[in-house]
Chain A
Amino acid sequence: MDNILEVRDLNISLLENNSTIVKDVSFDVGRGKVLGIIGESGSGKTLTCKAMLKLLNEKVFGVRGKVKLNGADILNMDDKQSRAFIGKDISMIMQNPMTAFDPMMKVGNHIVETLKAHTSLSKKQAYAVGMRVLEKMNLQRVAEIMNSYPHTLSGGMLQRVMIAIALMLKPRVIVADEATTALDVKNQAIILDEFQKMRDSGIGLLVVTHDFGVIGKVADEVLVMKGGEIIERGTVHQIFYNPRTEYTKELLEARFLVDEVNYA
Protein backbone atom coordinates (compact mmCIF):
# COMPACT_ATOMS: atom_id res chain seq x y z
CA MET A 1 0.00 0.00 0.00
CA ASP A 2 1.23 3.39 -0.93
CA ASN A 3 -1.06 5.45 1.27
CA ILE A 4 0.51 8.22 3.27
CA LEU A 5 -2.65 9.32 4.96
CA GLU A 6 -5.49 7.06 6.00
CA VAL A 7 -8.58 8.48 7.64
CA ARG A 8 -10.98 5.96 9.11
CA ASP A 9 -14.49 6.55 10.45
CA LEU A 10 -13.93 10.12 11.42
CA ASN A 11 -16.87 11.43 13.43
CA ILE A 12 -17.19 14.91 14.77
CA SER A 13 -19.90 15.87 17.21
CA LEU A 14 -20.88 18.99 19.06
CA LEU A 15 -20.41 18.27 22.74
CA GLU A 16 -23.04 20.83 23.67
CA ASN A 17 -26.00 18.84 22.40
CA ASN A 18 -24.24 15.67 21.27
CA SER A 19 -25.28 16.14 17.63
CA THR A 20 -23.10 14.58 14.94
CA ILE A 21 -21.87 17.07 12.35
CA VAL A 22 -19.42 14.90 10.44
CA LYS A 23 -20.33 11.25 10.07
CA ASP A 24 -18.17 8.22 9.25
CA VAL A 25 -15.72 9.92 6.92
CA SER A 26 -13.03 7.58 5.58
CA PHE A 27 -10.51 8.14 2.81
CA ASP A 28 -6.91 7.59 1.75
CA VAL A 29 -4.36 9.92 0.25
CA GLY A 30 -1.66 8.17 -1.73
CA ARG A 31 1.89 9.25 -2.46
CA GLY A 32 1.92 11.77 -5.30
CA LYS A 33 -1.84 11.77 -5.57
CA VAL A 34 -4.42 14.46 -5.19
CA LEU A 35 -7.66 13.77 -3.36
CA GLY A 36 -10.27 16.45 -3.82
CA ILE A 37 -13.08 17.01 -1.36
CA ILE A 38 -15.91 19.11 -2.69
CA GLY A 39 -18.80 20.49 -0.70
CA GLU A 40 -20.70 23.65 0.04
CA SER A 41 -20.85 25.60 3.26
CA GLY A 42 -22.10 23.39 6.05
CA SER A 43 -20.91 20.20 4.37
CA GLY A 44 -18.33 19.57 7.11
CA LYS A 45 -15.33 19.68 4.79
CA THR A 46 -13.41 22.31 6.75
CA LEU A 47 -14.22 20.65 10.07
CA THR A 48 -12.84 17.40 8.69
CA CYS A 49 -9.55 19.10 7.80
CA LYS A 50 -9.25 20.80 11.13
CA ALA A 51 -10.01 17.61 13.00
CA MET A 52 -7.22 15.81 11.12
CA LEU A 53 -4.70 18.38 12.24
CA LYS A 54 -6.13 18.48 15.77
CA LEU A 55 -7.09 22.10 15.35
CA LEU A 56 -10.58 21.79 16.82
CA ASN A 57 -11.36 23.03 20.29
CA GLU A 58 -11.67 19.91 22.44
CA LYS A 59 -14.15 21.61 24.72
CA VAL A 60 -16.56 22.23 21.85
CA PHE A 61 -16.07 19.29 19.50
CA GLY A 62 -15.83 15.60 20.14
CA VAL A 63 -13.69 13.79 17.55
CA ARG A 64 -13.62 10.02 17.10
CA GLY A 65 -11.93 7.83 14.51
CA LYS A 66 -8.42 7.30 13.20
CA VAL A 67 -6.10 9.56 11.27
CA LYS A 68 -3.07 7.51 10.28
CA LEU A 69 -0.03 9.28 8.97
CA ASN A 70 2.37 6.65 7.66
CA GLY A 71 0.60 4.14 9.84
CA ALA A 72 0.86 6.20 13.04
CA ASP A 73 -2.49 7.33 14.41
CA ILE A 74 -1.93 11.01 15.17
CA LEU A 75 -5.49 11.63 16.25
CA ASN A 76 -5.26 9.36 19.27
CA MET A 77 -1.72 10.25 20.29
CA ASP A 78 -1.16 12.63 23.14
CA ASP A 79 -0.48 16.17 22.02
CA LYS A 80 3.20 16.03 22.84
CA GLN A 81 3.83 13.18 20.40
CA SER A 82 1.53 14.39 17.64
CA ARG A 83 3.17 17.81 17.61
CA ALA A 84 6.23 16.20 16.04
CA PHE A 85 4.10 15.24 13.02
CA ILE A 86 1.65 18.08 12.69
CA GLY A 87 3.19 21.03 10.87
CA LYS A 88 6.08 18.89 9.71
CA ASP A 89 4.85 15.68 8.10
CA ILE A 90 1.36 17.03 7.57
CA SER A 91 0.90 20.67 6.80
CA MET A 92 -2.00 22.94 6.02
CA ILE A 93 -2.62 25.83 3.63
CA MET A 94 -5.51 27.98 4.63
CA GLN A 95 -8.03 30.08 2.76
CA ASN A 96 -6.98 33.51 3.91
CA PRO A 97 -3.20 33.86 3.99
CA MET A 98 -3.52 37.30 5.53
CA THR A 99 -4.87 35.90 8.79
CA ALA A 100 -2.38 33.05 8.86
CA PHE A 101 0.55 35.39 9.30
CA ASP A 102 1.42 37.42 12.37
CA PRO A 103 0.94 40.98 11.07
CA MET A 104 3.78 42.31 13.21
CA MET A 105 6.33 39.79 11.97
CA LYS A 106 8.31 40.11 8.78
CA VAL A 107 7.89 37.26 6.31
CA GLY A 108 11.58 36.31 6.71
CA ASN A 109 11.29 36.05 10.48
CA HIS A 110 8.21 33.95 10.05
CA ILE A 111 10.10 31.50 7.88
CA VAL A 112 13.10 31.41 10.22
CA GLU A 113 10.94 30.86 13.30
CA THR A 114 9.04 28.04 11.60
CA LEU A 115 12.26 26.34 10.53
CA LYS A 116 13.86 26.69 13.94
CA ALA A 117 10.83 25.19 15.63
CA HIS A 118 11.09 22.00 13.58
CA THR A 119 14.77 21.67 12.66
CA SER A 120 18.14 22.28 14.25
CA LEU A 121 19.24 24.86 11.71
CA SER A 122 20.95 28.06 12.81
CA LYS A 123 19.32 31.38 12.11
CA LYS A 124 21.62 32.06 9.19
CA GLN A 125 21.10 28.66 7.62
CA ALA A 126 17.34 28.98 8.11
CA TYR A 127 17.39 32.35 6.35
CA ALA A 128 19.23 30.83 3.39
CA VAL A 129 16.76 27.95 3.20
CA GLY A 130 13.93 30.48 3.28
CA MET A 131 15.39 32.40 0.34
CA ARG A 132 15.76 29.18 -1.61
CA VAL A 133 12.19 27.97 -1.06
CA LEU A 134 10.76 31.33 -2.05
CA GLU A 135 12.80 31.30 -5.24
CA LYS A 136 11.45 27.86 -6.01
CA MET A 137 7.94 29.30 -5.85
CA ASN A 138 8.75 31.55 -8.81
CA LEU A 139 8.70 34.62 -6.61
CA GLN A 140 10.83 37.52 -7.73
CA ARG A 141 12.91 39.86 -5.56
CA VAL A 142 13.00 37.29 -2.80
CA ALA A 143 15.21 39.32 -0.46
CA GLU A 144 12.66 42.11 -0.55
CA ILE A 145 9.82 39.73 0.28
CA MET A 146 11.77 38.29 3.20
CA ASN A 147 12.11 41.79 4.57
CA SER A 148 8.50 42.90 4.22
CA TYR A 149 5.44 42.67 6.45
CA PRO A 150 2.56 40.41 5.34
CA HIS A 151 0.09 43.23 4.69
CA THR A 152 2.35 44.79 2.08
CA LEU A 153 2.16 41.69 -0.13
CA SER A 154 -0.76 40.81 -2.36
CA GLY A 155 -3.03 37.88 -1.54
CA GLY A 156 -1.62 35.78 -4.36
CA MET A 157 1.97 36.41 -3.35
CA LEU A 158 1.25 35.70 0.29
CA GLN A 159 -0.48 32.46 -0.60
CA ARG A 160 2.67 31.40 -2.50
CA VAL A 161 4.79 32.33 0.52
CA MET A 162 2.51 30.20 2.67
CA ILE A 163 2.90 27.26 0.31
CA ALA A 164 6.66 27.76 0.37
CA ILE A 165 6.61 27.62 4.16
CA ALA A 166 4.45 24.50 4.09
CA LEU A 167 6.82 22.88 1.58
CA MET A 168 10.13 23.70 3.22
CA LEU A 169 9.67 21.20 6.03
CA LYS A 170 9.29 18.53 3.33
CA PRO A 171 5.86 17.33 4.42
CA ARG A 172 4.39 14.08 3.15
CA VAL A 173 0.86 15.41 3.07
CA ILE A 174 -0.48 18.89 2.48
CA VAL A 175 -4.05 19.84 3.27
CA ALA A 176 -5.23 22.80 1.22
CA ASP A 177 -8.48 24.19 2.58
CA GLU A 178 -10.07 26.56 0.02
CA ALA A 179 -6.54 27.74 -0.71
CA THR A 180 -7.49 29.40 -4.00
CA THR A 181 -10.93 30.74 -3.13
CA ALA A 182 -9.87 34.25 -2.15
CA LEU A 183 -7.63 34.69 -5.19
CA ASP A 184 -8.40 36.03 -8.65
CA VAL A 185 -8.26 33.70 -11.66
CA LYS A 186 -4.65 34.45 -12.59
CA ASN A 187 -3.27 33.78 -9.13
CA GLN A 188 -5.57 30.81 -8.81
CA ALA A 189 -4.04 29.30 -11.94
CA ILE A 190 -0.52 29.85 -10.58
CA ILE A 191 -1.34 28.14 -7.28
CA LEU A 192 -2.99 25.22 -9.04
CA ASP A 193 0.13 24.76 -11.15
CA GLU A 194 2.12 24.63 -7.92
CA PHE A 195 -0.21 21.92 -6.65
CA GLN A 196 0.53 19.84 -9.71
CA LYS A 197 4.26 20.24 -9.14
CA MET A 198 3.86 19.15 -5.54
CA ARG A 199 1.96 16.09 -6.66
CA ASP A 200 4.67 15.22 -9.16
CA SER A 201 7.28 15.49 -6.41
CA GLY A 202 5.51 12.73 -4.47
CA ILE A 203 3.61 14.71 -1.90
CA GLY A 204 0.07 13.61 -1.12
CA LEU A 205 -2.41 16.43 -1.49
CA LEU A 206 -5.83 16.86 0.02
CA VAL A 207 -7.55 19.69 -1.83
CA VAL A 208 -10.71 20.90 -0.15
CA THR A 209 -12.86 23.25 -2.19
CA HIS A 210 -16.34 24.29 -3.21
CA ASP A 211 -15.22 24.81 -6.80
CA PHE A 212 -15.42 22.03 -9.38
CA GLY A 213 -13.05 24.07 -11.53
CA VAL A 214 -10.27 23.39 -9.03
CA ILE A 215 -11.23 19.72 -8.80
CA GLY A 216 -11.23 19.35 -12.58
CA LYS A 217 -7.78 20.83 -12.83
CA VAL A 218 -5.89 19.00 -10.09
CA ALA A 219 -7.76 16.13 -8.46
CA ASP A 220 -7.22 12.44 -9.20
CA GLU A 221 -9.96 11.18 -6.95
CA VAL A 222 -12.94 13.06 -5.62
CA LEU A 223 -15.19 12.91 -2.57
CA VAL A 224 -18.46 14.82 -2.59
CA MET A 225 -19.57 15.89 0.88
CA LYS A 226 -22.97 17.08 1.94
CA GLY A 227 -24.40 17.57 5.39
CA GLY A 228 -21.37 16.00 7.07
CA GLU A 229 -21.35 12.82 5.02
CA ILE A 230 -19.58 11.57 1.93
CA ILE A 231 -22.38 11.09 -0.57
CA GLU A 232 -20.33 10.16 -3.59
CA ARG A 233 -16.79 9.16 -4.41
CA GLY A 234 -14.91 8.25 -7.53
CA THR A 235 -12.17 9.19 -9.93
CA VAL A 236 -12.30 12.69 -11.33
CA HIS A 237 -13.50 11.28 -14.67
CA GLN A 238 -16.30 9.30 -13.09
CA ILE A 239 -17.48 12.31 -11.12
CA PHE A 240 -17.35 14.68 -14.08
CA TYR A 241 -18.74 12.41 -16.78
CA ASN A 242 -20.92 10.01 -14.79
CA PRO A 243 -22.13 11.67 -11.62
CA ARG A 244 -24.41 9.26 -9.80
CA THR A 245 -26.18 11.54 -7.33
CA GLU A 246 -28.49 14.42 -8.18
CA TYR A 247 -26.53 16.66 -5.85
CA THR A 248 -23.27 16.14 -7.71
CA LYS A 249 -25.05 16.85 -10.98
CA GLU A 250 -26.50 20.02 -9.53
CA LEU A 251 -23.12 21.15 -8.25
CA LEU A 252 -21.48 20.55 -11.61
CA GLU A 253 -24.25 22.37 -13.44
CA ALA A 254 -24.04 25.31 -11.06
CA ARG A 255 -20.30 25.66 -11.48
CA PHE A 256 -20.12 25.71 -15.24
CA LEU A 257 -22.75 28.17 -16.31
CA VAL A 258 -21.83 28.61 -19.95
CA ASP A 259 -21.94 25.80 -22.47
CA GLU A 260 -18.74 24.15 -23.45
CA VAL A 261 -19.27 25.39 -26.99
CA ASN A 262 -18.42 28.85 -25.81
CA TYR A 263 -15.10 27.71 -24.52
CA ALA A 264 -13.89 26.71 -27.94
Chain B
Amino acid sequence: MLRVENLSKHYFIKDKKGKKTRVKAVDNVSFVLEENRSYALVGESGSGKSTLARLILYIEKPTGGQVKMDQLDLSAMSSRELRNKRADIQMVMQDGQSSLDPRLKIYDSIAEPLRNFIKLSKKEEKERVEALMSKVELPLEILDRFPHEISGGQQKRVCIARAISVKPKFIVFDEAVSGLDMTVRKKILDLLLRLRDEIQSSYLFITHDIDAAMYMSRNILIMKDGKIVEQVENISALSEFKHDYSKVLIRSLPPRTPGHRQVKI
Protein backbone atom coordinates (compact mmCIF):
# COMPACT_ATOMS: atom_id res chain seq x y z
CA MET B 1 0.00 0.00 0.00
CA LEU B 2 1.29 3.40 -0.93
CA ARG B 3 0.12 6.28 1.20
CA VAL B 4 0.70 9.91 0.28
CA GLU B 5 0.10 12.31 3.17
CA ASN B 6 -0.10 16.08 2.86
CA LEU B 7 2.54 16.03 0.17
CA SER B 8 3.73 19.44 -1.05
CA LYS B 9 6.42 20.74 -3.33
CA HIS B 10 7.09 24.44 -3.61
CA TYR B 11 9.43 26.17 -6.00
CA PHE B 12 10.66 29.71 -6.00
CA ILE B 13 10.79 31.50 -9.28
CA LYS B 14 11.94 35.03 -9.97
CA ASP B 15 9.49 37.29 -11.76
CA LYS B 16 10.33 40.16 -14.07
CA LYS B 17 11.31 42.48 -11.24
CA GLY B 18 13.57 39.86 -9.66
CA LYS B 19 11.11 39.28 -6.87
CA LYS B 20 10.86 35.70 -5.74
CA THR B 21 7.44 34.14 -5.84
CA ARG B 22 6.40 30.82 -4.45
CA VAL B 23 4.88 28.32 -6.84
CA LYS B 24 3.03 25.42 -5.29
CA ALA B 25 3.59 22.70 -7.86
CA VAL B 26 2.09 20.10 -5.54
CA ASP B 27 -0.11 21.49 -2.80
CA ASN B 28 -1.04 19.38 0.21
CA VAL B 29 -1.96 16.21 -1.65
CA SER B 30 -3.11 13.06 0.15
CA PHE B 31 -4.30 9.75 -1.22
CA VAL B 32 -3.89 6.03 -0.76
CA LEU B 33 -3.10 3.51 -3.46
CA GLU B 34 -4.09 -0.05 -2.59
CA GLU B 35 -2.15 -3.00 -3.89
CA ASN B 36 -3.34 -4.86 -6.96
CA ARG B 37 -5.44 -1.98 -8.15
CA SER B 38 -5.05 0.60 -10.82
CA TYR B 39 -5.39 4.32 -10.53
CA ALA B 40 -5.35 7.05 -13.12
CA LEU B 41 -4.46 10.64 -12.43
CA VAL B 42 -5.71 13.20 -14.93
CA GLY B 43 -4.35 16.73 -15.15
CA GLU B 44 -3.51 19.35 -17.72
CA SER B 45 0.01 20.54 -18.42
CA GLY B 46 1.18 22.59 -15.45
CA SER B 47 -1.14 20.86 -13.00
CA GLY B 48 1.85 19.42 -11.13
CA LYS B 49 1.22 15.81 -12.07
CA SER B 50 4.78 15.11 -13.20
CA THR B 51 6.18 16.68 -10.05
CA LEU B 52 3.86 14.46 -8.03
CA ALA B 53 5.20 11.41 -9.87
CA ARG B 54 8.76 12.38 -9.02
CA LEU B 55 7.87 12.97 -5.40
CA ILE B 56 6.28 9.54 -5.10
CA LEU B 57 9.43 7.99 -6.54
CA TYR B 58 11.42 10.19 -4.19
CA ILE B 59 13.61 11.51 -6.98
CA GLU B 60 12.71 14.96 -5.72
CA LYS B 61 12.42 15.76 -2.07
CA PRO B 62 9.05 17.16 -0.99
CA THR B 63 8.77 20.52 0.74
CA GLY B 64 6.36 18.94 3.18
CA GLY B 65 4.43 15.75 3.81
CA GLN B 66 5.26 12.08 3.51
CA VAL B 67 5.26 9.20 1.10
CA LYS B 68 4.75 5.95 2.95
CA MET B 69 5.24 2.56 1.43
CA ASP B 70 3.83 -0.27 3.58
CA GLN B 71 3.83 2.07 6.58
CA LEU B 72 7.51 2.98 6.03
CA ASP B 73 8.27 6.65 5.51
CA LEU B 74 10.52 7.09 2.48
CA SER B 75 11.97 10.34 3.82
CA ALA B 76 13.33 8.55 6.89
CA MET B 77 15.30 6.11 4.78
CA SER B 78 19.02 6.24 4.05
CA SER B 79 19.95 6.53 0.42
CA ARG B 80 20.88 2.84 0.37
CA GLU B 81 17.54 1.76 1.83
CA LEU B 82 15.76 4.05 -0.58
CA ARG B 83 17.64 2.53 -3.47
CA ASN B 84 16.56 -0.95 -2.45
CA LYS B 85 12.99 0.25 -2.02
CA ARG B 86 12.98 1.32 -5.65
CA ALA B 87 12.65 -2.35 -6.55
CA ASP B 88 9.10 -2.03 -5.26
CA ILE B 89 8.11 1.14 -7.05
CA GLN B 90 9.08 1.84 -10.63
CA MET B 91 8.33 4.55 -13.15
CA VAL B 92 7.94 4.78 -16.92
CA MET B 93 8.49 8.29 -18.22
CA GLN B 94 7.05 10.20 -21.12
CA ASP B 95 9.91 10.27 -23.58
CA GLY B 96 11.12 6.78 -24.40
CA GLN B 97 14.21 7.83 -26.26
CA SER B 98 15.54 10.23 -23.65
CA SER B 99 14.93 7.82 -20.80
CA LEU B 100 17.35 5.34 -22.37
CA ASP B 101 21.09 5.92 -22.23
CA PRO B 102 22.03 6.61 -25.87
CA ARG B 103 25.32 4.74 -25.50
CA LEU B 104 23.92 1.55 -24.01
CA LYS B 105 22.64 -1.29 -26.15
CA ILE B 106 19.07 -2.35 -25.53
CA TYR B 107 20.30 -5.52 -23.81
CA ASP B 108 22.27 -3.53 -21.26
CA SER B 109 19.44 -1.09 -20.70
CA ILE B 110 17.05 -3.90 -19.86
CA ALA B 111 19.63 -5.73 -17.77
CA GLU B 112 20.53 -2.64 -15.73
CA PRO B 113 17.83 -2.90 -13.04
CA LEU B 114 18.41 -6.65 -12.78
CA ARG B 115 22.11 -6.06 -12.15
CA ASN B 116 21.34 -3.49 -9.50
CA PHE B 117 18.65 -5.32 -7.58
CA ILE B 118 19.22 -9.03 -8.14
CA LYS B 119 22.53 -10.83 -8.42
CA LEU B 120 22.41 -13.12 -11.41
CA SER B 121 24.93 -15.13 -13.38
CA LYS B 122 25.53 -14.06 -16.97
CA LYS B 123 23.45 -16.95 -18.23
CA GLU B 124 20.52 -16.29 -15.91
CA GLU B 125 20.65 -12.62 -16.79
CA LYS B 126 20.44 -13.42 -20.48
CA GLU B 127 17.47 -15.72 -19.92
CA ARG B 128 15.68 -13.09 -17.86
CA VAL B 129 16.28 -10.37 -20.45
CA GLU B 130 15.00 -12.60 -23.23
CA ALA B 131 11.94 -13.53 -21.21
CA LEU B 132 11.24 -9.84 -20.63
CA MET B 133 11.57 -9.17 -24.33
CA SER B 134 8.89 -11.71 -25.11
CA LYS B 135 6.68 -10.30 -22.36
CA VAL B 136 6.73 -6.84 -23.94
CA GLU B 137 6.51 -8.43 -27.41
CA LEU B 138 9.78 -7.23 -28.81
CA PRO B 139 11.92 -9.21 -31.27
CA LEU B 140 15.21 -10.48 -29.83
CA GLU B 141 17.26 -9.07 -32.69
CA ILE B 142 16.96 -5.51 -31.40
CA LEU B 143 18.87 -6.44 -28.24
CA ASP B 144 22.16 -5.30 -29.69
CA ARG B 145 20.84 -2.10 -31.19
CA PHE B 146 21.04 1.37 -29.72
CA PRO B 147 17.98 3.37 -28.60
CA HIS B 148 18.01 5.69 -31.63
CA GLU B 149 17.93 2.71 -33.97
CA ILE B 150 14.51 1.47 -32.85
CA SER B 151 11.03 3.01 -33.21
CA GLY B 152 9.24 5.11 -30.59
CA GLY B 153 6.87 2.29 -29.75
CA GLN B 154 9.77 -0.12 -29.31
CA GLN B 155 11.59 2.36 -27.08
CA LYS B 156 8.51 2.56 -24.92
CA ARG B 157 8.34 -1.22 -24.67
CA VAL B 158 11.99 -1.32 -23.60
CA CYS B 159 11.20 1.18 -20.82
CA ILE B 160 8.28 -1.00 -19.74
CA ALA B 161 10.53 -4.07 -19.73
CA ARG B 162 12.97 -2.22 -17.47
CA ALA B 163 10.19 -1.29 -15.10
CA ILE B 164 8.65 -4.75 -14.81
CA SER B 165 12.00 -6.57 -14.66
CA VAL B 166 12.25 -6.33 -10.86
CA LYS B 167 8.58 -7.26 -10.26
CA PRO B 168 7.65 -4.02 -8.52
CA LYS B 169 4.51 -3.60 -6.43
CA PHE B 170 3.77 -0.22 -7.99
CA ILE B 171 4.49 1.29 -11.36
CA VAL B 172 3.95 4.96 -12.06
CA PHE B 173 3.37 5.85 -15.71
CA ASP B 174 4.06 9.53 -16.26
CA GLU B 175 2.41 10.47 -19.59
CA ALA B 176 3.80 7.17 -20.76
CA VAL B 177 1.80 6.99 -24.00
CA SER B 178 1.57 10.61 -25.08
CA GLY B 179 3.44 11.52 -28.22
CA LEU B 180 2.90 8.10 -29.74
CA ASP B 181 0.83 7.37 -32.82
CA MET B 182 -2.74 6.43 -31.98
CA THR B 183 -2.45 2.83 -33.17
CA VAL B 184 0.84 2.41 -31.30
CA ARG B 185 -0.69 3.97 -28.20
CA LYS B 186 -3.57 1.51 -28.27
CA LYS B 187 -1.21 -1.44 -28.56
CA ILE B 188 0.92 -0.24 -25.67
CA LEU B 189 -2.14 0.36 -23.47
CA ASP B 190 -3.43 -3.13 -24.25
CA LEU B 191 -0.01 -4.55 -23.44
CA LEU B 192 -0.04 -2.75 -20.09
CA LEU B 193 -3.48 -4.10 -19.26
CA ARG B 194 -2.35 -7.65 -20.07
CA LEU B 195 0.85 -7.26 -18.08
CA ARG B 196 -0.98 -5.96 -15.04
CA ASP B 197 -2.77 -9.25 -14.54
CA GLU B 198 0.41 -11.17 -15.25
CA ILE B 199 2.81 -9.40 -12.89
CA GLN B 200 0.26 -8.34 -10.27
CA SER B 201 1.47 -4.78 -9.90
CA SER B 202 -0.70 -1.79 -9.28
CA TYR B 203 -0.48 1.10 -11.66
CA LEU B 204 -0.66 4.81 -11.19
CA PHE B 205 -1.36 6.00 -14.69
CA ILE B 206 -0.75 9.73 -15.07
CA THR B 207 -2.13 11.36 -18.19
CA HIS B 208 -3.78 14.48 -19.61
CA ASP B 209 -6.22 12.32 -21.51
CA ILE B 210 -9.42 11.29 -19.74
CA ASP B 211 -10.12 8.81 -22.49
CA ALA B 212 -6.89 6.92 -21.83
CA ALA B 213 -7.37 7.24 -18.07
CA MET B 214 -10.83 5.63 -18.21
CA TYR B 215 -9.45 2.87 -20.42
CA MET B 216 -6.74 2.05 -17.90
CA SER B 217 -8.59 2.30 -14.64
CA ARG B 218 -11.85 2.72 -12.78
CA ASN B 219 -10.29 4.83 -10.05
CA ILE B 220 -9.70 8.31 -11.30
CA LEU B 221 -8.06 11.27 -9.61
CA ILE B 222 -8.35 14.71 -11.16
CA MET B 223 -5.56 17.18 -10.46
CA LYS B 224 -5.57 20.93 -10.93
CA ASP B 225 -3.06 23.57 -9.84
CA GLY B 226 -1.22 21.17 -7.55
CA LYS B 227 -4.35 19.86 -5.81
CA ILE B 228 -6.42 16.73 -6.22
CA VAL B 229 -9.85 18.22 -6.89
CA GLU B 230 -11.78 15.03 -7.30
CA GLN B 231 -11.33 11.32 -6.74
CA VAL B 232 -13.87 8.85 -8.07
CA GLU B 233 -13.71 5.14 -7.29
CA ASN B 234 -15.22 2.46 -9.48
CA ILE B 235 -16.36 4.89 -12.10
CA SER B 236 -18.47 3.59 -14.93
CA ALA B 237 -19.53 6.74 -16.76
CA LEU B 238 -18.17 10.22 -17.30
CA SER B 239 -21.35 11.62 -15.76
CA GLU B 240 -20.16 10.47 -12.34
CA PHE B 241 -17.71 13.32 -12.13
CA LYS B 242 -19.12 16.03 -9.90
CA HIS B 243 -16.45 18.72 -9.65
CA ASP B 244 -16.83 21.74 -11.94
CA TYR B 245 -13.31 21.43 -13.27
CA SER B 246 -13.82 17.77 -14.16
CA LYS B 247 -16.95 18.75 -16.06
CA VAL B 248 -15.05 21.43 -17.97
CA LEU B 249 -12.47 18.84 -18.98
CA ILE B 250 -15.17 16.46 -20.17
CA ARG B 251 -16.98 19.16 -22.11
CA SER B 252 -13.74 19.99 -23.91
CA LEU B 253 -13.36 16.43 -25.18
CA PRO B 254 -13.87 16.12 -28.90
CA PRO B 255 -17.07 14.24 -29.78
CA ARG B 256 -16.99 10.50 -30.29
CA THR B 257 -18.60 10.92 -33.70
CA PRO B 258 -19.47 13.82 -35.99
CA GLY B 259 -23.06 13.24 -34.84
CA HIS B 260 -25.69 15.49 -36.32
CA ARG B 261 -23.26 18.32 -36.92
CA GLN B 262 -24.04 20.15 -40.12
CA VAL B 263 -21.58 19.02 -42.76
CA LYS B 264 -21.03 20.80 -46.05
CA ILE B 265 -20.51 18.52 -48.96
Do the two chains bind? yes
Interface residues of A in 227-264 (CB under 8 A from B): 235-237, 240-241, 250-251, 253-258, 260-264
Complex CA–CA separation, A188 to B186 (angstroms): 21
Q: Is A221 an interface residue (CB 8 A)?
A: yes
Known contacts A254-B185, A257-B214: A221-B265 contact under CB 8 Å:
yes
CB distance from A8 to the nearest CB of B (A): 21
Known contacts A185-B249, A186-B44, A257-B212: A237-B258 contact under CB 8 Å:
yes
B263 A258 Cβ-Cβ under 8 A: no
Q: Is A189 an interface residue (CB 8 A)?
A: yes
Q: Which among A70-78, A81-89, A210-218 touches the partner chain?
A: A210-218
Query: Which residues from chain B contact A24 at a C-beta distance below 8 Å?
Result: none
B182 A251 Cβ-Cβ under 8 A: yes
Complex CA–CA separation, A218 to B195 (angstroms): 37
Which residue on chain B has the smallest CB distance to residue A213?
A: B254
Q: Is B35 an interface residue (CB 8 A)?
A: no
Complex CA–CA separation, A190 to B263 (angstroms): 19
The one of B183, B237, B248, B257 in contact with A250, judged by C-beta atoms closer than 8 angstroms, is B183
The one of B238, B253, B265 in contact with A213, judged by C-beta atoms closer than 8 angstroms, is B253
CB distance from B79 to the nearest CB of A (A): 36
A254 B182 Cβ-Cβ under 8 A: yes
Known contacts A40-B182, A40-B183: A240-B254 contact under CB 8 Å:
no
Which residue on chain A has the smallest CB distance to residue B260?
A: A237
B182 A235 Cβ-Cβ under 8 A: no
A255 B182 Cβ-Cβ under 8 A: yes
The one of A217, A220, A257, A262 in contact with B264, judged by C-beta atoms closer than 8 angstroms, is A220
A33 B264 Cβ-Cβ under 8 A: yes
B263 A220 Cβ-Cβ under 8 A: yes
Query: Which residues from chain B contact A263 at a C-beta distance below 8 Å?
Result: 237-238, 253, 256
CB distance from B118 to the nearest CB of A (A): 35
Q: Is A47 an interface residue (CB 8 A)?
A: no
Query: Which residues from chain B contact A108 at a C-beta distance below 8 Å?
Result: none
Q: Is A168 an interface residue (CB 8 A)?
A: no
Q: Is A32 an interface residue (CB 8 A)?
A: yes
CB distance from B213 to the nearest CB of A (A): 9
Interface residues of B in 69-112 (CB under 8 A from A): none
Query: Which residues from chain B contact A235 at a C-beta distance below 8 Å?
Result: 263, 265
Q: Is A144 an interface residue (CB 8 A)?
A: no
Query: Which residues from chain A contact B256 at a C-beta distance below 8 Å?
Result: 216, 256, 260, 263
Query: Which residues from chain B contact A236 at a C-beta distance below 8 Å?
Result: 258, 263
Give the secondary structure class of A's interface: helix
Q: Is B208 an interface residue (CB 8 A)?
A: yes
A241 B257 Cβ-Cβ under 8 A: yes
A216 B257 Cβ-Cβ under 8 A: yes
Q: Count of chain A residues with Cβ under 8 Å from any Cβ of B?
A: 41
Q: Is A16 an interface residue (CB 8 A)?
A: no
Complex CA–CA separation, A217 to B252 (angstroms): 11
Query: Which residues from chain B contact A260 at a C-beta distance below 8 Å?
Result: 256-257
Query: Which residues from chain A contact B258 at a C-beta distance below 8 Å?
Result: 216-217, 219, 236-237, 240
Q: Is A41 an interface residue (CB 8 A)?
A: yes
Complex CA–CA separation, A210 to B25 (angstroms): 31
Known contacts A220-B264, A257-B189, A257-B215: A189-B183 contact under CB 8 Å:
no
Q: Is B211 an interface residue (CB 8 A)?
A: yes
Complex CA–CA separation, A250 to B186 (angstroms): 9
B215 A214 Cβ-Cβ under 8 A: no
B252 A216 Cβ-Cβ under 8 A: no
Known contacts A41-B181, A254-B182: A262-B214 contact under CB 8 Å:
yes
B254 A257 Cβ-Cβ under 8 A: no
Which of B209, B215, B263 lies at the interface centre, i.e. has the most chain A CB atoms within 10 A of its CB? Answer: B263
Complex CA–CA separation, A40 to B239 (angstroms): 31
A257 B186 Cβ-Cβ under 8 A: yes
Known contacts A220-B263, A236-B258, A262-B236: A185-B253 contact under CB 8 Å:
yes
Complex CA–CA separation, A63 to B204 (angstroms): 47
The one of B182, B184, B239, B252 in contact with A185, judged by C-beta atoms closer than 8 angstroms, is B252
Q: Is B45 an interface residue (CB 8 A)?
A: yes
Interface residues of B in 34-49 (CB under 8 A from A): 44-45
Given A41-B181, A260-B256, A264-B239, 13 further pairs, Cβ under 8 A: A40-B183, A184-B45, A185-B208, A185-B253, A186-B248, A199-B264, A210-B181, A212-B182, A235-B263, A236-B263, A254-B183, A257-B186, A263-B237
22 CB contacts below 8 A, A to B, read A30-B264, A32-B264, A184-B44, A184-B208, A185-B44, A185-B210, A185-B249, A185-B252, A199-B264, A210-B181, A211-B182, A217-B261, A240-B257, A240-B258, A241-B257, A250-B183, A254-B182, A257-B186, A257-B189, A257-B211, A258-B211, A262-B236
